Amino acid sequence: MPARKAQRQYFVWLALGTASMAIAMAVLLVAQLVQSATIQQSATLRMDSLTAMAFHAEREYLRLRQSLDHMVHTPETSAVDDLRLRYDIFISRLNLLHASPSFSVLRGQMEYASLMPELGEITDRLEKALDRSPLQTDELALLLTDFNAIGPDFQALSVAANSGTSQLLEHQKDTLLQQNERIVWLIVAQMLLLLVASMALWGRQRKQVRDRRDLEQLTEELRQATAQAENANRSKSQFLANMSHELRTPFNGMLGMLHLLESTPLNRQQTEYLQTARDSAKHLLSLLNDLLDASALEAGKMGIHATPTHLPTVLQEVEALMRPLALRKQLSLAFAHSTPGPEWVLADGTRLRQILLNLVSNAIKFSEQGEIRVTTARADTAPLGPGAVAAWRVQVIDQGIGMDAATQSRLFQRFSQGDASTARRFGGTGLGLEISLSLARLMGGNITVQSTAGHGSTFTLELPLPCTEAPYPPDAPPTEWPAPPPATQGAGQRPLPSLDILVAEDQAVNRHYISALLQQMGHTVRLAHNGEQAVAEVVRKTPDVVLMDLHMPVMDGLQATQALRSRTGPAAEVLIIALTADAFPETRAQALAAGMDDFLSKPVSAPEIEHRLTEWFGSAEQVPAPDRPTPPAAAQTASEGAVVDVLDMDQIGEICAAISLEGYRSLLDQLFLDRAGTLDPVLAPLREHRTAALQPPAHALKGSAACLGLRQLADCARHIEHSGADFNPAACERSAQAVQAAWDSAQALCQRMGLSTENLQAFEPQG
């Protein structure tokens, strides 16, 4: 639209300019015509004026001659005065004739040449005669004779003057008219040229309009093509992120099940098979994590979450994880600190550990012999303290294959690993270094490399890290919790038969946790991700009991229960037990009103489930709660302080007793790894003040955290779920900070206490 408006304005101004020039030319033409008429009139007037002067001169000549005649024949005083008067008038007329601009016409005439000398001689004689006193009659008589003699010549001069002047004026008029005609033709030609120029400009403008329209069309096509390419790229990135996430979740579940399988009796061959399967799953999971990180970075969704981080612990963890890989290749791995550095800093410990693991694992992968040194130092000498920013530098130095300049130029590019031979020899996705560089830059730092082919490489990580105070006193190193003893099958120990139980739950962590509890009890478990799937599964094959979550997508638990109760046959009579984190009386009343038979509030424990099932399906002796393993000293010490507010140690002990410590670790790692599916959906609407979108993700986070004993996180999510709709912007910001802090505290404490191995699993070497 702006282009069309500008085009119309251009045409308007072009038309106005052309019309103005045409009007100006027309006015000039009219003025020229008027000028021609005026010239002709002026010529006529000048011709009439010259004729009049010649006539008056001739008339005064005759009067002078008459006065002279009267004086000669009748000498009187009055006649003398009259003669002198007539002489003066004649001389003045003669002078006027000579002074006339057109008198030049007479100068070339023959009459002028013959008359003027004689006339001059006669007038001189007359003037002298008039000066005498008294006048001499004889002298005047001679002058009269001479005057009479030149009379015809004077008359001829007058006629010649009139004729010559007329010819000259006619010639001038013709010349002026010819010139005027030429001017008129020139003006007409100019008008024609103006018209042609206007048409040419109009044609050029039309061509420019067409060209502009074509250019705009081409630009629009390019814009659409660019938008399509960007959409395709976003779709690709989104697809990659979705697929990586969808694949990573079952892999985490598979790792958890493999951990559970390890706690069962296995022969040596089965143990080897299990270890191979677990190692392969870990390697594939690390590749999927790289793909997810790469897609998140490309989509701009990778965030850095700075929390208090203990740098010595991070370095110790990296050293502990990488040393077995180095020993496997008979390499020496040394960590050295050249200058005292900060201990507690504000940093994303997860991403920092990821960068260091990538750099060290690369050094191990591309080294066949020699030593790998990891040095840390400060790049500045500023005093350290809370609020100060320390320039932290880490160098990873190897004696491996090294790189030439061409290889270094491709080093930090996605899916690039030097050259094809290196990729075939060492493998890898070529994502590790590109992700590490992107993460370092997101944290305000950079990664550089110096290398020579055949002489090893030096990777340098530089990060500005703000110093902070320790959030809690550092505890002793984490120790393993003892695994629970296998359950015995004695009389009275299992009063329930093996039941077919359908678990309808939309949260993966909750599904895996509850299914693991039920399977440990000896029940058969089927899973449904939403109420619609639960209804279909019950209709297909009616289970003994349905554990139904209330808040699910597609169809919630209340709707699913009503749908089943409205049917006929066994599906309508199935036992349905509500399973929800809402323990409020009104929620219980809604569940019972919808047709549910019982109610269990999350977090649910194994004894609670078994007790409730025993009430419905058996009346034998109650089974005592399984003995919980005693927490290690570190956990006990921590629980006396801040841990009590963050973690529900009783709940965690019950979970570990039911599914083993390794099983709990698997579920906990899955929760922390799935930040994009659990915490971020709560943080995003809080930070954007979209309070209407808070309830579903807060409910999901609350359920997952409560099931795993993350007390503080569950309490924050519960508060957001029930009060978030009324939050103002300030409350949104406070709640976002609170839930982020609860998440970070739970993650840090679980890692320190050995409950979580998230980000502490050994990384396979990456390219």
The whole-angstrom separation of Cα 372 and Cα 335 is: 9
166 burial class (0-12, 13-18, 19+ CB within 10 angstroms)? middle
pLDDT tens-digit map of 363-374:
888 888 888 989
What average pLDDT does range 464-493 have in this prediction?
50
| Band of residue 501 on the pLDDT scale cut at 50, 70, 90 | very high
* Residue 416: predicted pLDDT: 54
Q: What is the mean pLDDT of the chain?
A: 75
Strand stretches in 575-705, DSSP E: 575-580, 598-601
- Listed range (146-155, 283-292, 622-631, 720-729) with the worst mean pLDDT: 622-631
What pLDDT does residue 149 have?
83
Residues 6+ positions from 126 with CB-CB distance below 8 Å: 68, 87, 143
Q: For residue 184, count other CB atoms closer than 10 A to its CB.
A: 15
Give the span between the Cα atoms of 298 and 292, in whole angstroms.
10
What is the DSSP track for 291-338? Answer: HHHHHHHHTT------EEEEHHHHHHHHHHHHHHHHHHTT-EEEEEES
Peptide bond into 603 cis (omega under 30): yes
Any idea of the CA torsion for 263, 269, 270, 276, to the nearest 10 degrees? 100
Mean pLDDT of 671-689: 85
* Coil vs helix vs strand at 568: coil
Strands 344-347 and 307-310: antiparallel
pTM exceeding the 0.85 threshold for the entire prediction: no
CB contact set of 707 (below 8 Å; sequence gap of 6+): 509, 510, 513, 514, 602, 603, 604
Give the C-alpha separation, 708 to 736, whole Å. 21
Tokens for 453? 């082919």
8 Å CB contact between 460 and 359: no
Instruction: Assess contact for 253 and 666: CB atoms under 8 A.
Output: yes
Residue 505 has pLDDT above 80, yes or no: yes
- pLDDT digits over 372-403, tens only? 989 888 877 777 777 788 888 898 998 888 88
Give yes or no for a contact between 451 and 359, defined as CB atoms under 8 angstroms apart.
no
